[in-house]
Copies of this chain bind each other. A is one copy, B any other.
């Protein structure tokens, strides 16, 4: 749930891109026709085996982005098996009944394409960007590894060593990442977002072939997957190719609803402090549990998005203006809301001191802005400008084909629909100042927050 863990970067880009979306609804209401051409008509259909397909035409350049999103993430893992979702993302690059390990990667690079994969709390996704003529080949490789992986003890052992090393280098060697893990596990006391995506070391070490096969057979099925194709291709073509490739994969058993343990109400103020000699500049972040787009009452998540924008997104935000421009005590300060989650999510404010400023003073200044927005709300002018900034972001987002794919993929993998994506700008436009004030007052309560402190060693007693 923190933005600093590297292997989540792709995912978090997807999350923040919930802000950077363009579609015909928006175009019709406020953006001039030339910024939102009619070609952005999204098509959505199901294959007979239950696989959902979304096609986002974009004919400006001869490329396509091909993504498969599985509705399985670290928050779905069985107790004691943390890390298996991410482990499986790795295993998907191994040999199948039809292709040697590495063959898919080489096929992509041979044609000048790019590919990757990422795992988050709620989903695991695999993607390639290639010329349209290679789309069928991509589909054929992806459809193959959906069911035909060869999981030997040797493959498991080798790749487990890789993820263990990944944990050592990305988490255990990084004080910020170590802190973030324990902040997450302190913020979340029941909901599984407390468990790190990469897994707890002692559990990763025990992951085995039996676990992996059970996981594969349960979750890597067409009826648990969403295919997103964005780019220079027609829906009819995608449909025909998808039926020819993915359509040949048998539907798996129905999965139960993704109902996870729910977070109890937080009654306390919590802190987590890490002092480490590798830290030179102290910093802090404060988090609250808030509803996501999937769990919120109508309008609340939209209000939280605008609240984050006004309070701490960019250099027009209150935190930036107060701490960096006016008081000059912070080197950075901001806020963010991760709305695209299946369960309740987090709203975060953060800052770090500049020069000789004390961390305690910086935190007090952030708290003052939080308290002010919770008690007094936002002005109509601020809210209008925040909405306008969104619109501009959406226009810029047009240039990123993979952004469109990410928006649809992350939304559909967390309980949303194509319609939710399309109607989102209208819902943002309807948010009132009262609604923003209401979510700020309800959720940003300083005595019920979780704060993480990263301190240089000498400030251990801070």
Residues of chain A at the chain B interface (Cβ within 8 Å): 79-80, 82, 178-179, 182, 185-186, 189-190, 192, 194-195, 200-203, 259-262, 264, 266-275, 447, 460
Contact = CB atoms under 8 A, between A and B. Distances in A.
A178 B264 contact: no
A194 B201 contact: no
- Among A190, A192, A203, A275, the one with the most B-chain Cβ atoms within 10 Å of its Cβ is A190
Nearest to A190: B200
A185 B179 contact: no
Contacts of A269: 271-275
A189 B178 contact: no
Given A203-B261, A203-B262, A274 B267 contact: yes
A79 B194 CA distance: 14
Nearest to A261: B80
Q: A260, A268, A270, A460 — which one has the most chain B CB atoms within 10 A of its CB?
A: A268
A179 B448 CA distance: 12
20 contacts: A79-B261, A178-B268, A179-B267, A179-B268, A182-B267, A182-B270, A185-B190, A186-B186, A186-B270, A190-B195, A200-B261, A200-B262, A202-B264, A203-B262, A268-B272, A268-B274, A269-B271, A270-B270, A270-B273, A275-B447
Contacts of A195: 190
Given A200-B190, A274-B268, A80 B182 contact: no
Number of copies: 2
Contacts of A267: 178-179, 182, 274
A272 B270 contact: yes
Nearest to A262: B202
Contacts of A271: 269-271, 273
A264 B201 CA distance: 7
A262 B262 CA distance: 21
A80 B259 contact: yes
A182 B266 contact: yes
Contacts of A192: 79
Which among A80, A202, A270 has the greatest number of chain B C-beta atoms within 10 A?
A270
A189 B190 contact: no
Nearest to A260: B80
A264 to B, nearest CB: 5
A266 B181 CA distance: 10
4 closest Cβ contacts across the A-B interface?
Answer: A185-B189, A269-B273, A80-B261, A271-B271
A361 B269 CA distance: 21
Contact of A79 (B79, B82, B266): B79
A186 B260 CA distance: 20
A236 to B, nearest CB: 44
Contacts of A261: 79-80, 82, 200, 203
Given A186-B270, A268-B273, 20 more contacts: A79-B79, A79-B192, A178-B267, A178-B268, A182-B268, A182-B270, A190-B195, A200-B261, A201-B264, A203-B262, A269-B271, A269-B272, A269-B273, A269-B274, A269-B275, A270-B271, A270-B272, A271-B271, A275-B447, A447-B460
A298 to B, nearest CB: 21
A46 to B, nearest CB: 30
A268 B284 CA distance: 14
B264 A200 contact: yes
A271 B270 CA distance: 5
Contacts of A266: 182
A456 to B, nearest CB: 13
A210 to B, nearest CB: 14
A232 B284 CA distance: 64
B189 A182 contact: yes
Contacts of A190: 82, 185, 195, 200
A259 B78 CA distance: 13
Contacts of A275: 269, 447
A189 B179 contact: no
A126 to B, nearest CB: 28
Contacts of A273: 268-271, 447
A273 B264 CA distance: 16
A178 B273 CA distance: 22
